[in-house]
Chain A
Amino acid sequence: MSTQRILVVDDEPSVTRNLKLTLETSGGYEVFTENDAGNALAAARASLPDLILLDVIMPGLDGGDVASKLRADPLLRDTPIIFLTALVSNKETDGHEMLTGTNTFLAKPVDIGELKKTVGEHIRR
């Protein structure tokens, strides 16, 4: 079985760096990172991940915009997305169709145990 790939999109380099370190050392995943939301689609096309961890509030494009682009791409349409949010309230998702409904949210700061559990449940087998 090949190593499963995760793409982490977050504008905070320390977050992407540490998520990569933690998920690779304790989860056995191969992790790609992207700090520029504008490059997220290209990064996803290049890595074709089994799951994407996507920050909601980013400068320029936000998580909802990025998710819409990913959903419009035939290769990435079915890739599961877990949103990382700094806000506990659902208000942050107001007005974004992609952010409402059945999508999964994890509140920052994410507990590593909870993160690994949620990733394990959602990652494409």
Chain B
Amino acid sequence: MPIIVGLLVALVFVVGWIEYLTGFEISVSFLYFIPIIISTWVAGRSLGNMVALASAGVWLGADLLTGHAYGHWFVPLWNTLMLAGSFLVVVALLASLREANEGLEQTVARRNQSLQAENAQRRQVEEELRHSLDDVRQTHAELQRTQVQLIESAKMESLGRLATGVAHEMKNPLMTLSLGTDYFLLRKTENQEEARLVQDMKEAVHRASNVINVLLDYARPRPLQRTSEDIHSVIENSLTLVRHQLTKQHVTVVREFDTIPPPLSLDRTRIEQVFVNLFLNALQAMPPGGTLTVRTFTSHLSGSDSDAPAGVIVEVDDTGHGIMPQDADKLFEPFFTTKAPGQGTGLGLAIVRRIMEIHGGSIRLSNRNQGGARATLQFNIEPKDQQ
């Protein structure tokens, strides 16, 4: 600030000097407005007044130095006073303009500030709304899941009651038929046709009874008896159970096993039932032989940086005819079968899915790009009973 004041005062003296040299040209006197305007605009009314008075003083000094002859001593003083008055009026006008401008800037700044505050508040409200919306969506999704589970559980409960009723009402007549056929079988008739007929009846009873047992198993699964198991050992045991059919159909087994999968909490017998069902389906899809590949790998928690394993994925691949597009949606439906009558109950895959579900896992069937079908089983490390 002192530098600016010094420069302005110097400017005033420069103007005075020019005026002295030019012999008081009226146009030069206007040059005093430069330091006055600058000082008023930059520093305000006080400095403006000071520079205005200094300019009038310098003007008087320069006038006296040039030695103008005036009629009366009062004339130069009057001129100076008039000049000082006009300088002060300019300062007053300019200062008012400057103050009005500052006031306007302050108002704009205040408005800006309040607008920014309002914006921030609105953003916060928007954020809160977004959170609430997310919460509502999440709750809605959970409700839908619960609703599906409730419907499913009510469905299974009524199916369980139906299966129990059917079992009770069907097995007594079957028992009578079975005892009757056994009686005739024990009598050992000489007539081959009669013997064949009774044998067929015995097999029919067995088949009907088996369908009811499988239906009961599907509709009213026994409570799981979980133990900690090595999935590879469960797979190997299941392969042993179908070894005879594998050899008979010239099917090669390829194992692509994970190095050390985490142990899983599962009902070994039920999961062996899952694998045997899947292996038998694969075998039935490859009558001329082929390759059965069993692959395992550990899945990790998605979206997590940690390497904590979440579960184990098992893929069962065959090189058969694959899944027909028209069958894809019906594969897990109870009593849906593509096999010849008497070759299957149509409950195999329904039971497989049910067992996976009550273990808290899942199963998916798809066609492989290379041909053949793939069953993908997902097992969770944390047991989640869904029954």
Q: Which A residues are CB-close (under 8 A) to B164?
A: 87
Question: Across the A-B interface, how many residue pairs have beta carbons closer than 8 Å?
Answer: 74
Q: Does A109 contact B (CB under 8 A)?
A: yes
- Flag A41-72 by CB within 8 Å of B: 1 or 0 each: 00000000000000001000000000000000
Chain A nearest CB from B127 CB (Å) reads 53
Bound together, the chains give a CA A110 to CA B178 distance in angstroms of 7
Let me know if B216 and A87 touch, CB within 8 A: yes
Supposing A87-B216, A88-B217, A89-B222 touch, asked if A112 and B179 sit within 8 A by C-beta, the answer is: yes
Interface of B is mostly: helix
State the 5 A-B residue pairs at the shortest beta-carbon distance, nearest first: A109-B178, A112-B182, A18-B179, A86-B171, A14-B176
Seen from chain B, the residues whose Cβ lies within 8 Å of a Cβ on chain A are 164, 167-168, 170-180, 182-183, 186, 205, 209, 213, 216-217, 220, 222
Chain B nearest CB from A19 CB (Å) reads 6
Q: Does A97 contact B (CB under 8 A)?
A: no
Q: Which A residues are CB-close (under 8 A) to B167?
A: 86-88
Let me know if B175 and A110 touch, CB within 8 A: yes
Q: Does A78 contact B (CB under 8 A)?
A: no
Bound together, the chains give a CA A21 to CA B176 distance in angstroms of 11
Interface size class on chain A is 20 to 34
Highest count of chain B CB atoms <10 Å: which of A87, A108, A110: A108
Let me know if A19 and B220 touch, CB within 8 A: no
Q: Does A98 contact B (CB under 8 A)?
A: no
Bound together, the chains give a CA A56 to CA B184 distance in angstroms of 27
Given contacts A15-B172, A109-B178, A112-B178, could you give 17 more A-B pairs where the C-beta distance is less than 8 Å?
A12-B175, A14-B173, A22-B182, A22-B186, A25-B183, A26-B183, A87-B167, A87-B216, A88-B216, A88-B217, A89-B222, A108-B171, A109-B177, A111-B178, A112-B179, A112-B183, A113-B182
Q: Which A residues are CB-close (under 8 A) to B213?
A: 88, 107
Q: Which A residues are CB-close (under 8 A) to B174?
A: 108-109
The 23 listed contacts between A and B (C-beta, < 8 Å) are A12-B175, A12-B176, A15-B175, A15-B176, A18-B180, A21-B183, A22-B179, A25-B186, A84-B175, A86-B171, A86-B172, A87-B167, A88-B213, A88-B217, A89-B216, A109-B178, A109-B205, A110-B175, A110-B178, A110-B179, A111-B182, A112-B179, A112-B183
Supposing A15-B179, A86-B167, A87-B164 touch, asked if A112 and B186 sit within 8 A by C-beta, the answer is: yes
- Flag A86-101 by CB within 8 Å of B: 1 or 0 each: 1111110000000000
The residue in chain A whose Cβ has the minimal distance to the Cβ of B222 is A89
Chain B nearest CB from A68 CB (Å) reads 21
Q: Which B residues are CB-close (under 8 A) to A87?
A: 164, 167-168, 216
Highest count of chain A CB atoms <10 Å: which of B172, B178, B179, B213: B179
The residue in chain B whose Cβ has the minimal distance to the Cβ of A12 is B172
Highest count of chain A CB atoms <10 Å: which of B164, B167, B175, B176: B175
Q: Which A residues are CB-close (under 8 A) to B178?
A: 109-112
Which positions 17-46 of chain A face chain B at CB distance < 8 Å? 18-19, 21-22, 25-26
Let me know if B222 and A90 touch, CB within 8 A: yes
Bound together, the chains give a CA A94 to CA B216 distance in angstroms of 16
